Chain A
Amino acid sequence: MLDKTRKTPRLPSTAIDLRPYETFLIHEARLLDEGYFDDWLALFTEDARYWVPIQPNQADPFETVSLMYDDRRLLETRVRRLSDPRIYSQEPRSRTSRTVTNVTVEPDAGEPGVTVRSKFVLVEYRREDQRLFAGTYFHRLVGEGDAMRIAMKKVELVNCDAPLDGLVVPF
C-alpha cells in the first residue's frame, strides 16, 4: 500500500553544482569494480556507517536486523576479508559493473555534510552466474575536493527482502 501521507518530491534546484558529487560517486564505483578495496575504505571517515537495510522503508538499523550495518571496524574487516586469498566465496572473484546515475542533493537535514541521492545498477558475474542488483544510494559526504569523505552510505536495494544468495562484494 502506498503511504498517502508522504510528501511529493520537489523539483531539485539547479543552483547546486552536482559535478563534484558525481565525480566522487563515479570514482567510488570504479574503485569497487576494479577491486581497489583498501582505497575504497579510505574514502570513509573514521566514524562512518555503511548500511544495507533488509526491509523497504526500514526506519533504523537497531530495532530491525539489516543485511549489513557496518561501523568502521566491521567495514575494515569486510575489506580485509575481500583481500584475503582464503575468502572462498570470492574464489573465483566476482566481476562487477556499477552504473551510478540520477544524482540529486537531498534537502538539508541539519546533519554535517551533504546527502547525495543516486540510482545504481550493479551487475555481478561469478561462476557462470550473473546477478542484477538495483536501488538507491544515499551518501552523506563531508569535506571537499580530494578531502571529500563518506560519513554514511545507505544502500536501498529494490529486492532487499528477497531471498538472496551470499552477499560478499559491497554494493
Chain B
Amino acid sequence: MEQRIETPAGIRVDQSNGLFQVSRKVFTDPEFLKLEHEKIFEKCWLYFGHDSELPERGSFLTRTVAGRDFIFSRDSAGEVHVLYNLCTHRGGRVCREKSGKASVFQCFYHGWVFGSDGALRLIPQEGAYPEGYKNDRERGLVPVPRLEQYRGFWFINLDANAISLFDYLAGAKPYLDNIADQSEVGMAIVPGAQAFQVDANWKLWHENGMDPFHVNTVHQTYFEYSTDVAKIGKERAQASGIATEVFDRKASAEEMMKGRYAALMQTATKMKLDLGNGHMAYDYPANHGRPFAQWHPSWDPKYKPELDQSFERLVARVGEERAKRIALYDHHVLIFPNLAIVDNHGIMIRTYFSTKPEEMLVQSWTLAPAEESKEIRRLRLYSYMDFLGPAGFGTPDDVEAIEAAQRGYKGAEDYDGWNDVSAGMLPADPSSFVRNGDEGRMRVFWSKWAEYMHA
C-alpha cells in the first residue's frame, strides 16, 4: 500500500496512485465554513467592484462582500474608499441606498453625518461631547483594512498585513490586462447586476467554472442550438458575399479542447495550468462571435464592419500577436478564492460566498468597452444573456447540477464520502487531455485551499 497523506483540511492526495480526493464534508460541515471564513476570506484579496461603478466624485454604492456590508465611494477629491456601512455612534446603517451620488452620508438613527471619505463631519448634539471630539479619525466610518486596485478592478483584504494585490494576483494579471485593453477609454460595468441564490456551497460554483467535463453533458442543448444558429448564419453570410471558411471550426466540445490544449502548450507554464496563488485560467480559440472585435457568421453581417474595425484599432494599439490573443480567444480566469472572470459571449465577473454551508449568494456583473456603439452593445447583451444570465440557456442547468450534488452530500456524511478529482493526475493515455481535458485546474484550487486551511 502506498502511503496516504490525510489532511484534516479535507483533501486526500496519493500521487503515486494518481488519486486526488476531496471530502464531501467540506461542503456540508459548518466547522469547515467557519474555518474558511477565518483562514481564507479574512486573509485573501477579494474582488470588491469596478472603478467604473463610481463614475464621478461623490458616487457611491453599497455592497455585501464576505458577509460584510460596505459603502464603496469616491470622495470629493476623487479618492476611492471602502467603508464598513456601520455608524460609529451606536451601529446604525449609515447608507441605506443601493447607489447614487452624495457629498455626505447621514445616519438616520441619531443624525451623525459622515463625509464621502468616511470622516465624521457633524454630531447634532456636539455640545454633549468634549471639544474636538468629532475630529478624531476613530470617530469616522471604519475603512476596510486594505483596498487596492489593478487595472480598474478593486479588491479588498481584511488582513492588514497581506501581501500587495499586485503580488497576490501573480500570473492572473495578464488576463486582467487582456480585458482592460479591450477599451481605449476604459471598460465599464453595464447597469443591471444579477444575483442568484443557489442551494449549494460556494466551492461548487468555483469548481464548475473550471470543469471541462460537464460542458458536453450539462450544456448539450446549448451547443446544439449554437450549431444550428451558426449553420443558418453561414448561409446568410454567404448570401451576402462574406467568405466563411475561416469560421469553419466545428463547434464541438472536442474541438474546443484541442484549441485549449494548443493554447496551453504555447504558454510559459505549459500544462501546469497554474497562475500561482491558487489562480488558474484557460484560453481557447472562440468558435462563436465575440462582442469585442470578432464577428462570426451566426451574427448579422451588419455588425461585421464595426467589429473588424475594432480589431484593426486593437492591432494598432497592442500589436498583432496580443490583439489575436485578446480578440480571437475565449478566456476564463479564476482568481482564488471566489472570483471568476469569463470573457467569451461577453465579459462576466462573478463572485460567490456562503454564509451557510449549503447556500451561496452569487453576484454577477458584465463589463463592456465604454465607447462601443449602441448596436454592438445591443448585440453584446443578447449574446451575454443567452448563456450566462439566471434565465440564460446555460446557467440554470449548471445550478441544477451543483444543487443536486449538494443535496446528495448530506447523506455522504453517513459513510465518509469523498469526491474524486483525479482525472489527469496519472493518465494512462496522456493524449486524453487533448480529447477531454482534465481536472488539473480543480486540483490547483483545492491544493491552495488546503494550504490556507492548514496555515
Contacts and interface: CB of A to CB of B under 8 A. Distances in A.
Interface in A45-87: 52, 54-55, 58, 61-69, 71, 73-74, 77-78, 80-81, 84, 86-87
Given A89-B400, A163-B195, A65 B225 contact: no
Q: What secondary structure prevails in chain A residues at the interface with B?
A: loop
B359 to A, nearest CB: 10
Interface in B371-418: 374, 377-378, 381-382, 384-386, 389-391, 393, 395-397, 399-401
Contact of A69 (B196, B229, B381, B401): B381
A16 interface: no
A167 interface: yes
B385 A78 contact: no
Interface stretch (B9-17, B118-126, B186-194, B276-284): B186-194
A164 interface: yes
A91 B220 CA distance: 15
Given A64-B190, A78-B393, A165 B384 contact: no
B366 interface: yes
B197 A165 contact: yes
Interface residues of B, number: 36
Nearest to A91: B400
Interface residues of A, number: 34
A84 to B, nearest CB: 5
Q: Which of B225, B384, B401 has the most CB of A within 10 A?
A: B225
A42 interface: no
Given A55-B192, A165-B197, A166-B196, A67 B221 contact: no
A165 B403 CA distance: 11
B66 interface: no
B381 A65 contact: yes
Contacts of B385: 65-66, 68-69
A64 B378 CA distance: 10
Interface string B189-233: 011111111110000000000000000001011000100010000
B104 interface: no
A168 interface: yes
A63 B225 contact: no
B197 A65 contact: no
B361 interface: yes
Contacts of A15: none
Given A68-B389, A167-B390, A89 B397 contact: yes
Contacts of A61: 381
A78 B387 CA distance: 11
Interface string A115-132: 000000000000000000
B195 A166 contact: no
Contact of A164 (B197, B218, B386): B197
A68 to B, nearest CB: 5
Contacts of B196: 163-166
Q: Which of B220, B382, B401 has the most CB of A within 10 A?
A: B382
Nearest to B189: A65
Q: Which of A74, A80, A166 has the most CB of B within 10 A?
A: A166
B105 to A, nearest CB: 16
Contact of B390 (A63, A69, A71, A164): A164
Interface string A36-47: 000000000000
Contact of A77 (B225, B366, B381, B390): B225
Q: Which of A63, A66, A68, A88 has the most CB of B within 10 A?
A: A88
Contacts of B397: 87-89, 166
Contacts of A161: 195
Given A88-B400, A88-B401, A65 B390 contact: no
A91 B221 CA distance: 14
Given A69-B382, A86-B221, A164-B196, A81 B393 contact: yes
Interface in A80-108: 80-81, 84, 86-89, 91
A62 B378 contact: yes
Contact of A74 (B199, B374, B377, B386): B386
A54 B391 CA distance: 11
Interface in B330-359: none
A81 B394 CA distance: 11
A86 B39 CA distance: 40
Contacts of A87: 221, 397
Interface of A: 52, 54-55, 58, 61-69, 71, 73-74, 77-78, 80-81, 84, 86-89, 91, 161-168
16 contacts: A61-B381, A62-B377, A63-B377, A67-B390, A68-B385, A69-B385, A81-B393, A86-B220, A87-B397, A88-B401, A163-B197, A163-B361, A166-B396, A166-B399, A167-B396, A168-B396
